[in-house]
Structure 1
């Protein structure tokens, strides 16, 4: 395993030219040492740092760390229910480098048809203590694939599409699968050499998966390698996977708005397109994000995996509602790869535009579902197989 060896760089230049006080220099140097111990040999961080051009001196590293640290008071004041740090995996990336790293599915293509009328789905709804006050598909079922790291490739659209359709199949059949994001990256439009350039759309990828249900590969058959290479090869021969899955996933449709998202989450995870290239996402450690900078640009596909409420800690025991999203930045970002964002804004976009454009693969009408959520607080769920 190769590593990100910053220690050699740090020995080359003194700190004398930094325009900071001695006390601040000492503190930043200590913080940089802590960052190195945590992330200096992390393959995921090394992949992100490939975006850095040229050789970084000690001055460069400390200035980058200071720039990230200086943003904390502002984002903390705007998001009092979340925690942020300048010692995250992306701390040494400049704003432009971080934006290049997260860039992915930049917009939503031609609107898809509205969801079809419900067909015998009464038993598919989440059964959460009799009321759908909270849903978390990551802990209450086996139907959400694990967190992945997209690495040095703008492949979030492909990873999330594979996860969403995998979840739909599992919720329909009770059989957990993990479809190959690498296959989606190379085979669905635009695929091939453009796949890592963030030019793909999760909707197109999901449609490709559903329309090629007889020739899909698992993650183990075609593992994800583009995060390391930064390249997406053209579609490989997938005939070896023919018949591997009898995929059960219906047409792709879209939604808009928090109310529609909350309702659909009682049935399944949903793909969202989120605005992420800002300091909030760069420095996020945990908690509930309640504000994002205004923007018209969304760049990241994510899987919304639940919603709930959190005790805000006020005297009147106010409960803060949130959505839970699964990102593609690895488990050492956020809440083990997930993020919670304020729910209940009462508009069609939501915080960070998470509810502006929503996509899911419909659950096929197969009678009673083989996968429903157990009551909150129950033991870890497994999906029952009906005879």
Structure 2
């Protein structure tokens, strides 16, 4: 997978951004011993155990590079936020992109009609959590199933909006059973291929098919108790935050609003647990002056339809 410097920077931000992390003055150069101690403390806090010394040395090298990136970033004056350590701080950019963002450059992106194209009655803010359309923040663990969590969150939201019933749906069903396209369980996957699976097979509830965070054989009996269906999915026009906002208003579980200081932002739910960011959410500033939006949020958006 080839990464441009711009993409590498974006992924690095997502590896280390955290509301609970601690930052230090970057002018203080940490020697190898203190860095090793920092790594040991991080391992204990995040319950990381490596299989052998070779893996420990490799992960320590990655951890050290990420810490140095954090220190440098936090001393620069042109940023509106700080970075800190979290449970992903021993991953490379490529590993994080594959296992925790659903990014896959080989995936097809469907070009279709955009049903919200002529929508004009868009409110200044909306928070779908307050409307009962968002399930509590979940945790994908070490399984690279972000694609499944993303698809499920979108289907949970649109199902509640259309039916009034909020049901926590099964990511594990997608991990085990959605083998179409590039989907490979905990190894890799794509949201659009997950939508295709749900359109064909439906999806059961999390209660019926519980998440275990690892690959398993598809349990056909569990999948028979269908809790939600979709008619398909559509793509939001690329590089348009205006189009994305129209979609958010009607069809997804992203939230948007305005801070007290007047800055518009997107509030995005993640699958990395409630200890990450703001109780499991992160803010991305809107209307930043480039078409793809901050961190590329408007580049490849899609949504299910029922």
TM-score, normalised to structure 1, is: 0.60
Which deviations, in whole Å up to 9, do the C-alpha atoms of 1:171-190 show, x marking residues without a partner?
11111111111112222243
Shift of 1:356: 1.0
- Structure with the larger helix share: 2
Are residues 1:320 and 2:275 paired? no
1:67 to 65, 68, 86: 65
Q: CA deviation at 1:217?
A: 1.6
Residue aligning to 1:54: 54
Separation in 1, partners of 2:256, 2:205: 28
CA distance in 2, matches of 1:117, 1:339: 25
Residues 72 and 311 of structure 1: CA distance in aligned 2, closer, same or farther (over 3 Å): farther
Structure 1 residues 78 and 183, CA gap change in structure 2 (3 angstroms)? farther
The answer to whether the Cα contact below 8 Å between 2:233 and 2:303 also exists between their aligned partners in 1 is: yes
Larger Rg: 1
**Relative to 1, partners in 2 of residues 1:50 and 1:177: Cα closer, same or farther, differing over 3 Å?**
farther
Partner of residue 151, structure 1: 141
| RMSD of equivalent CA atoms | 3.6
Residues 32 and 65 in structure 1, CA contact (< 8 A), matched pair in contact too: yes
Which residue is equivalent to 1:223? 210
Tell me the matched-pair count. 275
Cα distance change on mapping 1:69 and 1:177 into 2, 3 Å: same
Cα drift, residue 53 of structure 1: 7.8
Quick one: structure 1 residues 344 and 103, their matched pair in 2 at CA, closer, same or farther if it must change by over 3 Å?
closer
How far residue 338 of structure 1 moved from its aligned partner, in angstroms, is 1.7
Post-superposition CA distance 1:43-81 (Å, at most 9, x none) = xxx4xx669983526x974x6554323212443337622
Q: Is 2:173–2:204's contact at 8 Å kept on the other side of the alignment? A: yes
CA distance in 2, matches of 1:358, 1:223: 27
Q: Distance in 2 between matches of 1:346 and 1:23?
A: 37
Aligned to 2:258: 309
1:106 to 100, 104, 107: 104
Q: Which residue pairs with 1:267 in the alignment?
A: 250
Q: Is the 8 A contact 1:104 1:197 kept in 2?
A: no
Q: Tell me which residue corresponds to 2:127.
A: 136
Q: Does 1:355 align with 2:298?
A: yes
Counterpart mapping for 1:157-236 below 5 A: 157-190=147-180, 194-198=184-188, 200-213=189-202, 216-225=203-212, 227=213, 229=214, 232-236=215-219
Q: Secondary structure, in 3 states, of the residue corresponding to 2:263?
A: strand
**Alpha-carbon distance in structure 2 between the residues aligned to 1:169 and 1:233:** 27
Tell me how far apart the structure 1 counterparts of residues 191 and 56 of structure 2 sit (CA, whole Å): 36
Aligned to 1:254: 235
The verdict on how the C-alpha distance between 1:310 and 1:105 changes in structure 2, with shifts beyond 3 A counting, is same
Give the conservation status (yes or no) of the 8 Å contact 2:209–2:223. no
1:105/1:156 contact within 8 Å kept: no
Distance 1:209 1:35 in 2: 38
Kindly state the Cα deviation for residue 321 of structure 1 after the two structures are TM-superposed: 1.8
The match for 1:341 among 272, 284, 303 is 284
Determine if contact 1:143/1:171 at 8 Å carries over to the other structure. yes
Unaligned runs of 5+ in 2: 1-27
C-alpha distance in structure 2 between counterparts of 1:103 and 1:218, whole Å: 23
Name the SS for the 1:136 alignment partner: coil
